[in-house]
Amino acid sequence: MDYSMIRAIVVSSRVAASPKVINVYWWPPIDDWIKVNTDGSALGAPGKITAGAFFRDKWSWVRGCFHIKGGIGFAFKAKLLAIITAIGIAHSRGWTKLWVEADSSYVVSLLETHSKQISHIYREGNQAADLMANPQRHEGWWPYAIDEIKHAVAMDMSSHSYICYK
């Protein structure tokens, strides 16, 4: 390419940096821990918020999942609602060793000083939780993997790598 011609017509040329490629994996919890992946969404800012999550054991088997609606708010409130609800459900079921995973690095950073087991996962690796937070879903608790998340759960169980570009 003839850069002298570009410079002559006063067009600045800047080569964009290539994106960073990250392989994202879902990891099961250890021993007698339960892992919950959470997500929340808002339709608008502010808008109707929904939250959902699913719980899995060390064999990656789904122990339950939920979806709730939370009124009007921002995505931040929806993501917090998902985590608070998940902790409440775990407590009511006697799951005292709970590992919380969420795709909001901001929410995780706020809560990690208060919890020993909370971690961030990129959105690409949190697909089943994203499906549970879908605003069109009916509210409820299911003690198994509902049909809509079975494929995402199977991909996680197979140690499938999701690609994230940053």
CATH of the domain at 148: 3.30.420.10
In a domain, 10, yes or no: no
In a domain, 16, yes or no: no
In a domain, 128, yes or no: yes
- 62 vs 163 pLDDT, higher one: 62
The answer to whether the Cα torsion of 25, 158, 79, 95 is positive or negative is: negative
Condensed to tens digits (0 to 9), the pLDDT of residues 34-77 reads 999 999 999 999 999 999 999 999 999 999 999 999 999 999 99
pLDDT at residue 1 is higher than 60: no
**How far, in Å, CA of 112 to CA of 143, rounded?**
28
**How far, in Å, CA of 45 to CA of 43, rounded?**
7
Number of domains present in the structure of the chain: 1
Q: Which domain holds residue 115?
A: 29-165
Condensed to tens digits (0 to 9), the pLDDT of residues 135-157 reads 988 999 999 999 999 999 998 88
In a domain, 17, yes or no: no
In a domain, 97, yes or no: yes
Phi-psi region of 152 (alpha: psi -120 to 50; beta: other; left: phi over 0): alpha
pLDDT for 14 equals: 75
Tokens of residue 112, six digits: 């990690």
Q: Up-side HSE of residue 50: CA atoms within 13 Å toward CB?
A: 18
Condensed to tens digits (0 to 9), the pLDDT of residues 118-135 reads 999 998 889 999 999 999
Give the type of residue at 105.
S
In a domain, 35, yes or no: yes
In a domain, 95, yes or no: yes
- 114 vs 164 pLDDT, higher one: 164
Query: The whole model's pTM is what?
Result: 0.85
